Structure 1
């Protein structure tokens, strides 16, 4: 289930703007598949950052996550170039999501709700063997 809805987009941007950017068949209403694709893109992007610190799926959708999703989806819907304020909202959402991934912002919870589980575990990294070592470079001056 996407973190935001058509109603959230309309509340933020207004019905006129959403109709202009999501009515691809020009029938006077936003195309459901266009809206769904933008909201899914936004959810996937949010999950990519949030998953660095929290187990998914989130038990509930915090208002911050909904706001970020709306900003991202609105930017995606402006496929021919977003106005400055839409691009600024998008960039702010991405910056905040990066802060979530780094642990600088914690996702809020409603009263009585348990916080989303933080990811735990060990990160393993592998690298190729060292090519230039002092012993291999012996004799080269």
Structure 2
């Protein structure tokens, strides 16, 4: 399920800006495929960070994901570099997502909704036998 929509982008940035950055065929309306691609990129970026902490897909979309998705999609749509406030919003969204991945921010759950399931498990490693042991260094083998 998408974290944001075209309407969310328009609400945040205004239709004039969205037309300017998403109307690639110059017909006066934002191109649906361009907007959809930017929103997918935002969803993928968010899922990349959330996947480190939660099982995906989430049972419901926490409200704080929407502004982060809008900030990321808006930044993506400004493909030649956005204004300072767009870049700042993007960096703030990424920083918050990094905090979610590290467990510093927990996703809120509305009453009556199912909480996202935290990813559990162990990190496992395999390595070759140790080459330089105290015994081998002492010349005993």
- The Cα of 1:77 is off from its aligned counterpart by 0.2
Could you say which residue in structure 2 is the equivalent of 1:72?
Answer: 72
The 10-residue stretch of structure 1 (70-79 or 114-123) with the greater mean CA deviation from structure 2: 114-123
Q: Deviations along 1:3-32, whole A, 9 cap, x unmatched?
A: 100000000100000000000000000000
Could you say which residue in structure 1 is the equivalent of 2:114?
Answer: 114
- The Cα of 1:110 is off from its aligned counterpart by 0.9
Task: Sort the Cα spacing of 1:10 and 1:136 in 2 relative to 1 into closer, same or farther, 3 A.
Answer: farther
In the alignment, is the contact (CA less than 8 A) between 2:60 and 2:114 conserved in 1?
no
1:13 matches 2:13: yes
Q: Deviations along 1:38-67, whole A, 9 cap, x unmatched?
A: 000000000000011111001111111111
Could you say which residue in structure 1 is the equivalent of 2:124?
Answer: 124
TM norm structure 1: 0.90
**Long gaps (5+) in structure 2:** none
1:46 matches 2:46: yes
**Long gaps (5+) in structure 1:** none
- The Cα of 1:137 is off from its aligned counterpart by 7.7
In the alignment, is the contact (CA less than 8 A) between 2:22 and 2:77 conserved in 1?
yes
TM norm structure 2: 0.90
Once superposed, what is the RMSD of the aligned Cα atoms?
A: 1.9
